[in-house]
Structure 1
Amino acid sequence: MRIGVLEDDDIQQSFIELCLAKDGHEISLFQRASELRRALQHQSFDLLIIDWRLPDACGMDVTKNLRQHDGWRGLILFITASQNEEDVVMALEHGADDFIAKPLRPRELSARINALGRRAGIIAEDTAAKVGSYHLDHQQRCIRFEEHAVTLTDKEYRLATLLFTHANELLSRAHLLEVVWGMQGDISTRTIDTHISRLRRKLSLDGSHGFRLRSIYQCGYRMESVSVSSVGNPA
């Protein structure tokens, strides 16, 4: 995952980076809330780790502003030195998806982040998964079917994994843009259409292998499981 860490303590920053880099996450470090706000204008993150005590802001206020004013819907893990129930409740009510108390423990930090990623459909449960006749290899970031390995770009793989994970569910364009590209709002772009077209072609998602990738007009896209006998052209 792409993770932004808002923590002003150098030692804590290094500790968090060391813990998460080994899991393959991309880490960006920030010491001030103003730095993070500027970065969010041109960078996308799957998850933010926000400390309560910051030199130019309160982490609680940063979280609240991200949710209520900026409309940021990515994952937020809140760090607090307090284990007081009221503080924990306040963090969650202000928009945090989870919290972790200091002192941070490496295995717990890694487990909480991975659990959040799995719940959001960003991280797959295992290093490999089978969906019908398709094998998703999360380590090699490729998809295999009919004994062929199809190598995908990072965005293509993230999009395909999300669609397969939520097979038969309608996923809106806004949701795909936010989860895969980190873009928010009602944005007019052909980016999704281009990637959907590539996935259909590369993975033969016309129903001939048990799945059809359909475009639902003005709504989004749906990965549909179908019987081979009902193969038709994708919308």
Structure 2
Amino acid sequence: MQIGILEDDHDQRDYLTLCLEAQGHELAGFERASQLLRALRERSFDLLIIDWQLPDACGMELTRTLRSEHGWRGLILFITASQGEEDVVHALQHGADDFLAKPIRPAELTARVEALGRRFVTSDTNYLQPKVAISDQYRIEPDEHTIWCGAEPVALTQREYQLASLLLRHVGELYSRAYLLEMIWGVNGDISTRTVDTHVSRLRRKLGLNGSRGLRLKSVYQYGYRLESCATAPVKSS
């Protein structure tokens, strides 16, 4: 994969580069957020590794800005010295696809990147399917990696799009959190199931999956989630 590393500590950046180059990835390093933003206008990356503490920006805020203002849909691995659960949830809510705490362990780093890479590699085959009109309210546009809600496209991250696409194509099917982690994130028990809960909460809000548009994303206690149709708007089968 083409990977951009935003880390102001020179030694840490070299360490990350050394670990990932050994796995065959192509790396570009940046120490300031402004340098990365300029690079994104000139080249593409499959994955960005972003540190929290930066000399000219907050990595958390930069991640949010990349998603909401720049429309960047690639993968983001967020790195920080904090290991608190609240910080993990905060990073995911701001648009990160995964989270890694310092000190970085080489085996865990490469495993996380490989897991993200599996989702990058397989997303085209799993999700680039024909257009699907789920109802008069929802439409999946695989070529654009977008979900349309009514007459408007909804801004989603790559993970959000993949999760929404899976659920919308299988209305009524019950999925465990563990299964969703494996299917969407490509990992099996390596990250907290709170990751799924956070993304589901965002999808429910962004797509109006509260029953008002004919579909309700329901939590099944201590198990997972099911997208259900409501009587207000019949759902077309795909």
Residue number in structure 2 paired with 1:92: 92
Contact 2:81 2:102 in 1 (8 A): yes
3-state SS in 2 of match to 1:86: helix
Q: How many Å apart are 1:168 and its aligned residue?
A: 8.3
Q: Which has the larger radius of gyration?
A: 1
Which string of whole-angstrom CA distances, capped at 9 and with x for unpartnered residues, describes residues 176-198 of structure 1? xxxxxxxxx9xxxxxxxxxxxxx
Q: Which amino acid aligns with 1:172?
A: P
Aligned partner letter, 2:129:
E
With over 3 angstroms needed to count, the CA separation of the structure-2 counterparts of 1:99 and 1:38, relative to structure 1, is same
Identity %: 61
2:48 and 2:75 in contact (8 A); partners too? yes
- TM-score, length-normalised on structure 2? 0.54
Aligned pair count reads 137
Distance 2:128 2:41 in 1: 33
1:168/1:59 CA distance change after superposition, 3 Å:
closer
Shift of 1:5: 0.2
| 1:119 Cα deviation after fit | 1.7
Q: What pairs with 1:63-78 in structure 2 (closer than 5 Å)?
A: 63-78=63-78
Q: Please give the alpha-carbon distance, in whole angstroms, between the structure 2 residues aligned to 1:52 and 1:114.
A: 22
1:174 aligns to 2:144 (yes or no): yes
- What is the aligned-residue RMSD (CA, Å)? 2.1
- Unaligned 5+ runs, structure 2: 131-140, 146-154, 156-238
Q: Which structure 1 residue ranges, 4+ long, deviate > 6 Å from structure 2?
A: none
Q: How far apart are residue 117 of structure 1 and its match?
A: 1.1
Structure 1 residue aligned with 2:208:
none
Unaligned runs of 5+ in 1: 123-161, 176-184, 186-235
**Whole-angstrom distance in 1 between the partners of 2:127 and 2:56:** 44
**1:6-64 deviation digits (Å, cap 9, x = unpaired):** 00001001100000001110100000000000000011000000000000000001000
